[in-house]
Structure 1
């Protein structure tokens, strides 16, 4: 079973509009215990995101932009250059409302996106949460790194049952009666004997893709090395 964003996302989302003032945004983040809020238009479409970093930037760069001789630390200056991709940080640092402070365009996902794809998207863009939108770009929820980690805390019994039912019994076209699978703390140990080496390789690859699997210990043996024979025939 491939876990989708809709299986782990938060549906009760705290959103703001472009006119929401700085103070109200900060109070909302504190009240909800979140690090970012989506900015939506009158139709509920996501137009940007305001994060803690966006709010703190206003204070961090305040003296610099008011020419009081303040020189931000190196990390802040590097982020300043990178932020040019999302709009001039000088203008955003002086902003007083969500529309002026937000990072745009927002990086979003659909509810049918796999958690793996969502995690890769977060890593690629360096963000901690993603607004979830429907087919019309309207806000449907939000998914965070914390939400994505839920797939790794699946009970061992649930992981073992999925491997036995969806992989060993349904996806391996060979005799699997001698395969043994145990799961402890997300680590899967696969042992026993299988007729062909190719089936053993397929089994391990499929098991590694199961959500919640931390690692796989491969102790499978096979009766016939069909892969070696194929190489011998092709040569």
Structure 2
């Protein structure tokens, strides 16, 4: 990931278990137990992802399976769940269409999709819709396990050197626990906010403490400019 933006393919699980639309209820439950997962992608005959079957989908059979446990009003209000209560195959149980992401999507995009669609994992599909892997919330957090030294190297090469050129050598970069601190003086103070934003976007950065400032003032040469040191002593 050094020098490049991490994408879903960098962190996703490539070995994934999935079910066909015709998979039976008990086979789905057994597979979830064996693989210790709470949801499974559902594939059509061509291997394309057409939905997701989760523990919540399966539990509808417990909640609404017994006719005496559900009143008429509840059946109307929760029609989809009631239908799943009598379903026996993955195709009938699944939530469709599946919310998916591509291998080249950035981690930020995957995180936004998860948050907006309120899902914990996303099947990763190729251009033809076939299953390539799966990415979970915990996978997206792996980027924050990067070594501080690697983060510092990326900050120096990809941000500081490119923005400040020859001045970059005078900028001190410290990284502790993913928190980046920038210390030094630069001539182009207008670039400081941009540097902070770019550093924050580096993979694995938790926070940025920016202590960059402009060149020292010379009141004797620039009488119209305030002397910050004299103001501080006043």
- TM-score, normalising length from structure 2? 0.84
Deviations 1:57-108 (A, max 9, x none): 2212223xx1x1447xxxxx8xx96x87xxx222122211100100000000
Q: 1:47, 1:208 → 2: CA distance? A: 36
Structure 1: runs of 5 or more not aligned: 72-76, 226-235
Instruction: Indicate which of 164, 180, 195 corresponds to 1:188.
Output: 180
Matched position secondary structure for 1:203: helix
Give the conservation status (yes or no) of the 8 Å contact 1:197–1:224: no
Matching of residues 112-191 of structure 1 within 5 Å: 112-173=104-165, 175-191=167-183
Instruction: Indicate which of 35, 39, 44 corresponds to 1:41.
Output: 44
Larger Rg: 2
- Give RMSD over aligned pairs: 2.0
Q: 2:146, 2:169 → 1: CA distance? A: 26
Matched position secondary structure for 1:109: coil
Give the conservation status (yes or no) of the 8 Å contact 2:58–2:84: no
Structure 2: runs of 5 or more not aligned: 218-234
Give the conservation status (yes or no) of the 8 Å contact 1:131–1:141: yes
Instruction: Indicate which of 16, 20, 36 corresponds to 1:17.
Output: 20
Give the conservation status (yes or no) of the 8 Å contact 1:174–1:199: no
Q: Give the aligned length.
A: 211
Bigger Cα displacement from structure 2, 17-26 vs 216-225:
216-225
Q: 1:172, 1:106 → 2: CA distance? A: 45
Query: How far is the alpha carbon of 1:171 from its aligned partner?
Result: 4.1
Query: How far is the alpha carbon of 1:168 from its aligned partner?
Result: 1.3
What is aligned with 1:74? none
Deviations 1:34-70 (A, max 9, x none): 121100011110010001111122212223xx1x144
Give the conservation status (yes or no) of the 8 Å contact 2:180–2:209: yes
Matched position secondary structure for 1:3: coil
Runs of 4 or more, structure 1, over 6 Å off, are none
